Amino acid sequence: MNKVKIVTDSSIQITAEEIKKYGITLVPLSIEIDGQQFIDGETITRQGFVQKMLVSKNLPKTSQPPLGRFVDTFKELGADGSKILAIHMTKGLSGTVEAARQAAQITGLDVTVVDSEFTDRALAFQVIEAAKLAQSGADVADILPVIEKIKNQTQLYMGIPNLDNILNGGRLGKVAASLSTFLKINIVIQLKDSKLGILKKGRGIKTIENYMDKVVQQINDNGDKIAEIGISYVDNITLPKRLEQQIHEKWPQLPILNEVTSPAITTHAGKGAFAIMYYYR
């Protein structure tokens, strides 16, 4: 039986150890800051991107991986007859998943492309489980229903204290119209079904803190049912670290990865933003 190989994109929140352990292949997004071009994770680090963004004259631009990069990756991985399962960030934030689908058609290889409907660590929940199953000998048909279940059991909340990036980037769509004249407000958004929706808005960081305290309470009330938690932030770890500590006070064994997010998310979310995401067993 041919092996299944797992591919994802650089918007994922994943450690170098996990990539190596589970044999996951990352296809990087491209980034432009004030006319300078970078390749995510190859010619710029996440921390380096944040520092450049904070002093940039213009809103950075991120773009999906070039079609050719996907084609080359698929051809290399499929050269031995392996099947490929590519799991990517939501189409609501990027055209990456569509580029992967186009590349799959071009190569003519056995490539299955999945829209995770998430990004960051919430994307990793699906990718890592898929990779574990692939290593155990599972076929693509066996893996798909498992990651679909994880997708349906995942929650992702983001606090955004500065609206400049998300409004200028256009990712809130029609919802942004109600915010455009109130640029000093803070918002909490949820990513669900590939769409961003505003859950709470108000003046001051307390808007975010109070809502996230409720999220943590929900986690703590259901800690025995939660498989894993991810917390990602742009440039300020203070509140994300406090949330992590609040959870670990009650559930010390619950795995939490708390790291700087990817350039793709940093660009859309902006200074001070962070997200918490988790999924039920």
For 198-210, the pLDDT digits (tens) are 999 998 899 999 9
- pLDDT band for 105, please (50, 70, 90 cuts): very high
> Which pLDDT does position 164 carry in this prediction?
82
Which amino acid is residue 123, in one-letter code? L
- pLDDT band for 91, please (50, 70, 90 cuts): very high
Tell me the average pLDDT across 8-17.
97
pTM of the model: 0.94
Fold of 154-280: Hypothetical Protein Tm841; Chain: A;domain 3 (3.30.1180)
Spatial neighbors of 171 by CB under 8 A, at least 6 apart, are 92, 93, 196, 268
pLDDT in tens, 233-265: 999 999 999 999 999 999 999 999 999 999 999
Residue 193, token pair as written in the block: 């079904």
Report the distance separating Cα 4 and Cα 85, nearest Å.
7
- pLDDT band for 196, please (50, 70, 90 cuts): confident
pLDDT in tens, 127-154: 999 999 999 999 999 999 999 999 999 9
Q: Is the pLDDT of residue 181 over 60?
A: no
Percent of the chain scoring above 70 in pLDDT: 94
Report the distance separating Cα 149 and Cα 170, nearest Å.
30
Report the distance separating Cα 37 and Cα 169, nearest Å.
18
Helical packing angle, 206-221 and 238-250, nearest 10°: 20
Domain 4-29+64-152: give its CATH architecture: 3-Layer(aba) Sandwich (3.40)
- pLDDT band for 39, please (50, 70, 90 cuts): very high
Q: Is the pLDDT of residue 179 over 70?
A: no
> Exposed, middle or buried: residue 96 (CB in 10 Å: 0-12, 13-18, 19+)?
buried
Quote the mean pLDDT of the chain.
93
pLDDT in tens, 155-173: 999 999 988 888 777 666 5
Contact 30, 48 (CB under 8 A): no
Report the distance separating Cα 125 and Cα 205, nearest Å.
29
DSSP 34: T
Count helices and strands in the chain by DSSP H and E runs: 10, 13
- pLDDT band for 117, please (50, 70, 90 cuts): very high
pLDDT in tens, 44-85: 999 999 999 999 998 898 899 999 999 999 999 999 999 999
- Greatest alpha-carbon pair distance for the chain in Å reads 59
Report the distance separating Cα 11 and Cα 123, nearest Å.
8
User: What is the domain partition of the chain in residue ranges?
Assistant: 4-29+64-152, 154-280
Contact 62, 33 (CB under 8 A): no
> Which pLDDT does position 1 carry in this prediction?
47
